[in-house]
Amino acid sequence: MRETFIATTTALLDEDPRTALVLADISADRFAEVQRRHPDRVLNVGIREQLMAGVGGGLALTGMRPYLHSYAPFLIDRAYEQIKLDFAHQDVGAVLVSIGASYDAAAEGYTHQSPGDVALLDTLDGWTVHVPGHRDEVAEALRAAARHDDRVYVRLSTQENSHPHLGGGLRVLREGGPLVVAVGPMLDPVLEATLGLDVTVAYTNTPRPLDTAALRSAMRGDEIVVVEPYAKGTSAHLVGEALSGLPHRSLHLGVGRAEVRRYGSRHDHARAHGLDPAGLRRSIEAFLG
């Protein structure tokens, strides 16, 4: 996904003079060539994430379309107040593109992990959130964001599904009984976990705004399971609103709050949070009974 981000953003810089890219050292070497072609629009501020957000806001104030990029914990967690005040409060937008996700950087430890990024943006107004499940879904999100001035977050991960599902919104991929919603790269683990179970599986790579109309119409009965690759329960309030007035039971699976003080790989961390296929199956079977 990172490669697709680099290729697509490079193409956007070549095609659209409104596009600007602001970096804080991360991935800067991969943009060195396009920086030579567009030195005024490819800006590496150094290891200064607060400034990266401020520069993004300032660029947007003059009519540019800034893309900002770093590891999720530095791009979102660290610069939260800049994101709050330097974009929406100024009535401007930007495209924030992160890597690292919840635990891609497993061996690097908790400092390089951001399970709370989407929940943080949920405290703010007007952010569209894309969580691509496949590298081919990345370009679509980045190109769509170039055509307007709204606030967009694109959360990239090394975890991806075997097949892309292009187009936004929430769609049903497997028909059956109770609804299981998989967000982004959780689709393949969900499909494997629910093999042989009588469930409906729906997919979205755009959890914000949540496609509540499609969610309601995908309900097959009164039970729903939501599987997200970031903090457990991040979408619970929106699912609750979408289904308000409908009797329902819900289970929200995702990354737990407790810090896992172990290294290893992202597969180890998925297992620790019960987000591997076996863990998901246990939780879903226990819930559906």
Partner 1 sequence: MKLLSRVTADVKHSPSAHSTLDVLWVLYDRVLRITPETVDDPGRDRFFLSKGHGPAAYYAVLAAKGFIPEEWLDDMGGWDSPLGHHPDRVLIPGVEIGTGSLGHGLGLTVGAALGLRAQGYLDTRTFVLLGDAELDEGSNHEAIAYAAAIRLPITAIVVDNRSSTHGWPGGWSGAPTWLDEDGEVSAMSDRTRAGLSVGIPARFPNWGVSVVDGRDRDGIEQALRVVEDRPRLVVAAL
Is the CB of 90 or the CB of 217 nearer to partner 1?
90
The CA-atom distances, in angstroms, between 41 and each of 35, 38, 71, 95, 148 are 7, 5, 21, 14, 18
Q: Which of 1, 13, 21, 64: binder of partner 1 (CB under 8 A)? A: 64
Check residue 245 for interaction with partner 1 (CB under 8 A). Answer: no
Is the CB of 51 or the CB of 238 nearer to partner 1?
51
Check residue 120 for interaction with partner 1 (CB under 8 A). Answer: no
The gap between the terminal CA atoms of the chain, to the nearest Å, is 37
Binding map of partner 1 across residues 36-55, x = CB under 8 A, - = no contact: ----xx-x-xx-x-xx-xxx
Q: Which of residues 13-32 bind partner 1 (CB under 8 A)?
A: 17, 20, 22
Q: How many residues form the binding site for partner 1 (CB under 8 A)?
A: 31
Check residue 86 for interaction with partner 1 (CB under 8 A). Answer: yes
**Region of 87-95, 97-105, 108-116, 181-189 interacting with partner 1 (CB under 8 A):** 87-95
Check residue 158 for interaction with partner 1 (CB under 8 A). Answer: no
Is the CB of 46 or the CB of 167 nearer to partner 1?
46
Is the CB of 50 or the CB of 212 nearer to partner 1?
50
- CA-CA distance, 38 to 266, in Å (whole number)? 36
Q: At closest approach, how far in Å is the CB of 58 from partner 1? A: 2
Q: At closest approach, how far in Å is the CB of 139 from partner 1? A: 24
Is the CB of 60 or the CB of 202 nearer to partner 1?
60
Check residue 257 for interaction with partner 1 (CB under 8 A). Answer: no
Q: At closest approach, how far in Å is the CB of 246 from partner 1? A: 38
Check residue 126 for interaction with partner 1 (CB under 8 A). Answer: no
Is the CB of 58 or the CB of 168 nearer to partner 1?
58
Q: Are 73 and 111 in contact (CB under 8 A)?
A: yes
- Catalog residues that contact partner 1 under the rule CB under 8 A: 17, 20, 22, 40-41, 43, 45-46, 48, 50-51, 53-64, 66, 81-82, 85-86, 89-91
